[in-house]
Structure 1
Amino acid sequence: MAKFKLLEMLTYSIFLASSNELLFEREKFEIFIARRNEIYKTRNVRLELKIWETVSEELGAGRKQNEYNSILKTADVVIVLFWTKVGMYTEEEYRNAIVLREKKDRPKVYVYEKTEKPAHPISIEDETTKLRFIEALKADGKFHARFKDSIELERKFLEELDQLFNEGYFKSGESESLLGSVFKFAKRILGISFVLASIVMFYFRRDVISRWTSGDPNSPIHELIAPLFLLIIGILIFIFRFKKK
């Protein structure tokens, strides 16, 4: 008999930081991630790309960069792209990613520089921000990769994606049997099931409780042991799960 399988999809968040001049690369990268997701369906894995265009609608009325940084905290991978300049917010996102990486060994941080010569002149101010960022990378002992166009960027990051799976940083989602899925669900609701069962048992023994509270010496108080036991076990399961979280 064939076994029914339920798929457990794993989602990994990728935060892409870049300045406005790399809009085309961001759009192409979004298409690239969507194509990878079609392939990764066989692994039960989904990549969730966070870029300015997709997260701006999620933001509230506060300082937007603060909220970008908040989203960044949940990222598994942070990618920083730069070309002729490095904006203050892009640099801030990179710095925050590095701090997070040092604290909890996550996210992975990748920095890519576009090397294609721009058609427009570069201002001294923009050039200064770029050079300052590169020097800061060197001072931190960090190295960055280079790409000519979006095709090369996608090829290089695909190599990194393969490495993330190979080293176990990204894991494939697991298939589980229908019985296993039911058992997992049962464990999640075990505590509340015990509590509800005890309440039902107490309800049908309310005459026993009434006789006992009124001082009847012949009240079959032993009938309350089972529901009381279930109630205690249910409460302990709740406490254990809360402390575990």
Structure 2
Amino acid sequence: MDLNADLGEGFGAWRLGDDEALLDIVTSANVACGFHAGDPSTMHRVCRAAAERGVAVGAQVGYRDLAGFGRRRIDYAFGELRDDVLYQIGALEAFCRAAGDRVRYVKPHGALYNTAAIDQGQADAVVAAILAYDSALPVLCQPGSVLHRQAEAAGLTAVGEGFADRGYLPDGRLVPRSRPDALVHDPAAVVERAARMAVDGEVVAVDGSVIACPVRSICVHGDTPGAVELARAVRTGLARRSTVGAFA
């Protein structure tokens, strides 16, 4: 089972989360590519640190929305969104190559992640960008989502992802961050949820129902309070039940 986190989400002198500490724990790093967060120096630093640790780097692509941290939905023309995603993958690839590595996968961020899960137009734009860049790149997304289906239909590898520290709606979507139950704060509950996803392929929704969640990668958010300790606990819990390693 892969363990991933969103990294490189600072900007300029402002840093969000402890990238270096998380890179000692996770097996895959979703690196912000400069549109919703990140900048060239941050991307360079994180890619180099990931390469030194053997952590797989993925392009964390998002809306062109630094002020909103990519968490506000934007309606895009198909070609514009495709090109924005393609641009971000290429930018991160430059820093991966400088570190002696390469981009291993693509993961949408924030509002783009949630929108592409239900909107075929935006899902198709993400898929088109990956196909234009490298059809061998997997896409990390919610299992059963529109993006998951469209990626597979286009011949891409779609990797199901679960969120140990996020609440789920009964239909399998993530609870909107505007709600108080969007995040799971209890470390023991987060570890238990990660293990249940990894072993049983299911998760308990906010209404108590059990829903299918077949995943190959589990995310712990790098900007969650206590993220380093939480990620370490999740990795320990996963290691007790399954092999931990990058999918890409």
**Is TM-score (shorter-chain normalized) higher than 0.5?**
no
Bigger Cα Rg: 1
The TM-score, its normalising length taken from structure 1, stands at 0.29
